[in-house]
Structure 1
Amino acid sequence: MARHLITCTPAHGHVVPLLHIARHLMARGDEVVFLSSPRYADRIAATGARFVPLPPEADVDLDDADATFPERAGLTGPAALRFDMSNLFIRPGAAQLAAIRTVLGEHRIDAVLTEPLFVGAALLQRLPQRERPPVLVLGIFPLGVRSRDVAPFGLGITPRPGALGRARNATLRLVAERVIFGGVHREADAVSRRETGRDLGGFILDWAGRADAYVQFTVPAFEYPRSDLPASVRFAGPLPAPSSDAPLPAWWSDVERAGTVVHVTQGTIANTDLGQLVMPTVRALAASDALVVVSTGGRPLDALPAPLPANVRVAEYLPYDRLLPEVDVLVTNGGYGGVQQALSHGVPLVVAGQTEDKVEVAARIGWSGAGVNLRTSTPSPAQVGDAVARVLGDTGFRERAGRIGAEMRAADAWTALDRVLGSLVAAHPVADPVPGE
């Protein structure tokens, strides 16, 4: 029986998919140790995994970072990215690595499975192979592997073919690594040298591509092609969506009878201000024949101003396995999991998200032709209305979303993960820890 360590930064959008992976590993008979924040202890324990808390100095609440760092509020663009990389990810890295080493000293761990922003795993990966288990990166965000064929991750810039495109990418990479994030990278290298005796071996945002293995949870059709993709990267298809236990609302029959259904959501985290996307969509479609179905992502229904137009239906949560087959267009701020759920049902999208990894999700939607990228987090009703009309009026969007969806439905993420993990463990056997060492 194998035993694995899952490491995860304290953020809802990071933890939830890794809980899904933990349940899968437990169900196949493995043991799982899960390192994250005590805020998620009960949910982790419910999977059957053994919860290990991050030390306080590594337990930054990414879901409410502004409360911990008031100076973060108001930062935008590169300044916001630099602040987050330093304070939310790099500086907790040493304490994260110390917590990993404690676990490794107590248990034989056959592999460390991590999401890409857990810097402690990046530091672990710099230790000699004989001193650590293999590191497997779980690609729960758009693929961030460095390539001559794509612009640096985080800019939301789509590929341009040919020599001109590669020259553009090289220039952007130089500016990103030396100018925009030069100080951040130097800080990460200094932490790595202090903790491991070696620098990171490359740019901090590209470290996951240098891990022992990288399982990306999407299909090639929804990712930029890279002629120099590392052999360590395996596309697995999206994580299967767990069955929803959200009850059907009393108005569900309206969905089944509607000729056109537009669903809008800001997800479960970036939903404190429903005026960013939900309300512009409601206002844009108030006079249309479409039924507008709103999910507040757990926010109370009275967070929306009353009265709402007659064609709007609202619930805190909705069962996506029942809803998405009825939806003609999804309007979203670009959460990776929700976008891929929609695509797996062949649903085209309108996306308005420019923060965190959402800028890269939005760029891929526009690039793939599966929807419209509004290139803003706060669109006007006119922008949303025009984009929805465009998607509904052009069957090409649904056709391209359908092709991506067919590829997703043909994939088997669990089988792909099991094969990569099995090969990795077989190639890198790990001895039991010696007490007292």
Structure 2
Amino acid sequence: MSSTSYRAPASRASSATPMSLLICCTPVHGHVLPLLSVTRTLVQAGHDVRFLTGIRYRTLVEQAGAQWVPLPAEADYDDRDMDRAFPGRVGRRGVDGARWDLRNIFLEPAPAQLRAVDEQLRLRAVDAVLAESMFLGAMLLLCRPASARPPVINLGIVPLGLRSRDTAPFALGIPPLPGPFGRLRNSVMNAMTDRFVFAELQRDAERMALAETGAPLPTAAMNYPALADAVMQFTVESFEYPRSDLAVPVHFVGPVSVAAAGGAGGSGDLPDWWDDLDGRRVVHVTQGTVANGDLGELVLPTLAALADEDVLVVVSTGGRPVPPSSLPANARIAEYLPYDRLFPRLDAFVTNGGYGGVHHSLARGVPIVAAGSTEDKAEVSARVAWSGAGLRVRRVSADSIRTAVRRVLHEPSFRENAARLGAEIAAAPGPAGIESVLRGLRAPVA
């Protein structure tokens, strides 16, 4: 059983006193990127920041001004080829894929993650641990009593998964139904999901909590952020399902890494075909930086769907080598693209549902066609449709993509709703909003 000799920091002299902070993140690009924005803000505010993540991201962490802390080898992997790192996930989709990923990619490393956190707590006092939602070592940490751990802030880099009578089970991509019938439906679905869909995951998580902390896991594994001292959600309230029965405070700060979404190069890194965008209706398609091993999942069907449309289709491979196959005449491709310069020129965005890319599109008021089915992407895609900012495609084909793109291009409501969310994002505090939450945490136990 893992244990820790947690030492609470000395009481703070004032609200301006620098804090000792530990940021914890799984070694996945789309998870690390927003936390780097948070890190830069906290470092600039004078805080002492340690950042626990994989070795691939050491340089980026140090460039952000934090001390990089390595994950143990058994909790680290190269997210540039997830199917190679986790061969068992190949070919899994939908609920089966989500269940496999949760168990093998995120839950299994949790004990090693917790040991790394405990080592940092022993080395130096910590005012707060900031952990992104899929860092399940934080789930184990939160099984301990508040007096035996620092305050923990959950950083919502994926859609809010807090269980509520107002929402269906997380990971299934099912939007809410209002009213008494909807709540009854949600209760039944949660019970059925716990019993049949995620029962093995829950049993494993409960056994793990007892083995590693000596304490029970008091909630569903994916509802563990409800145990945190606060939740910092990287979206705006209008892009999240309403919940009337939450005990943990949820702070919507907006997306924190809009300027760098997609991991594109700087503003000057323009492909030689960039001027082809002039005077054209432009549609961008990407599968992000992780789920892009097979471009046939979304990129190639989109190219086929729009080959005869009066649009210019711009493709980002998310860092993968540009495939040698020929492109339609109306398509352009690059490994990375500067999103800060691309999105103001877009008329539509076709995506597999990455949280960061979707928010970059919303920030620019660009309507979305979302086709996510793995990891958290079904939930992101469901929220795109629920918010009215775009359409969700459940089964990808040239016909389904073509129909959806035509609709978001020609029906004004989608752009209007995307613009409404964009205005809300512009008014959100972003990473600076974390400062006030940190200052409002409970005083450390002496």
Check whether the contact 1:219–1:236 (CA below 8 A) recurs between aligned residues: yes
Q: Does 1:272 align with 2:289?
A: no
Give, as a single letter, the amino acid of the residue that structure 1 aligns with 2:176: P
Check whether the contact 2:99–2:201 (CA below 8 A) recurs between aligned residues: yes
Of 194, 205, 212, 1:195 maps to: 212
Give, as a single letter, the amino acid of the residue that structure 2 aligns with 1:342: S
Give, as a single letter, the amino acid of the residue that structure 2 aligns with 1:305: S
Provide the rounded CA distance (Å) in 2 between the counterparts of 1:78 and 1:273: 19
Q: Does 1:93 align with 2:110?
A: yes
Q: In the TM superposition, what are the counterparts of 1:77-116 in structure 2 within 5 Å?
A: 77-116=94-133
Q: Does 1:239 align with 2:225?
A: no
SS at match of 1:214: strand
Cα distance change of structure 1 residues 86 and 253 upon mapping to structure 2, 3 Å threshold: closer
> 1:257 corresponds to which residue?
279
Provide the rounded CA distance (Å) in 2 between the counterparts of 1:331 and 1:221: 21
Check whether the contact 1:133–1:428 (CA below 8 A) recurs between aligned residues: no
SS at match of 1:314: strand
Alpha-carbon deviations, 1:226-275, whole Å to 9, x = none?
111334111111114236505122222221322x1111111122222222
Q: In the TM superposition, what are the counterparts of 1:309-328 in structure 2 within 5 Å?
A: 309-328=328-347
Give, as a single letter, the amino acid of the residue that structure 2 aligns with 1:267: G
SS at match of 1:143: coil
Of 266, 284, 308, 2:305 maps to: 284
Deviation at 1:113, TM superposition (A): 0.3
5+ residue gaps, structure 2: 1-17
SS at match of 1:32: strand
Provide the rounded CA distance (Å) in 1 between the counterparts of 2:277 and 2:413: 24
Q: In the TM superposition, what are the counterparts of 1:325-336 in structure 2 within 5 Å?
A: 325-336=344-355
> 2:239 corresponds to which residue?
222
Q: Does 1:420 align with 2:420?
A: no
SS at match of 2:439: helix
Q: Does 1:372 align with 2:394?
A: no
Deviation at 1:220, TM superposition (A): 1.1
Deviation at 1:125, TM superposition (A): 1.4
Deviation at 1:355, TM superposition (A): 0.6
> 1:305 corresponds to which residue?
325
Percent same amino acid at aligned positions? 51
Check whether the contact 1:109–1:430 (CA below 8 A) recurs between aligned residues: no
SS at match of 2:255: coil
Alpha-carbon deviations, 1:148-183, whole Å to 9, x = none?
000010000011111111111111100111221112
Check whether the contact 2:74–2:109 (CA below 8 A) recurs between aligned residues: yes
> 1:343 corresponds to which residue?
362
Q: In the TM superposition, what are the counterparts of 1:132-211 in structure 2 within 5 Å?
A: 132-211=149-228
Alpha-carbon deviations, 1:403-432, whole Å to 9, x = none?
1111111111223211111111xx23266x
Higher-RCO chain (CA-CA 8 Å, sequence separation at least 6): 2
Q: Does 1:294 align with 2:315?
A: yes
Check whether the contact 2:33–2:257 (CA below 8 A) recurs between aligned residues: no
Provide the rounded CA distance (Å) in 2 between the counterparts of 1:205 and 1:231: 15
Deviation at 1:304, TM superposition (A): 5.2
**Is 209-218 or 276-285 further displaced after alignment?**
276-285
> 1:435 corresponds to which residue?
none
> 2:142 corresponds to which residue?
125
Deviation at 1:342, TM superposition (A): 0.4
Give, as a single letter, the amino acid of the residue that structure 2 aligns with 1:253: D
Check whether the contact 2:36–2:64 (CA below 8 A) recurs between aligned residues: yes
> 1:37 corresponds to which residue?
54
5+ residue gaps, structure 1: 432-437
Deviation at 1:199, TM superposition (A): 0.9
Check whether the contact 2:287–2:298 (CA below 8 A) recurs between aligned residues: yes
Give, as a single letter, the amino acid of the residue that structure 1 aligns with 2:149: R
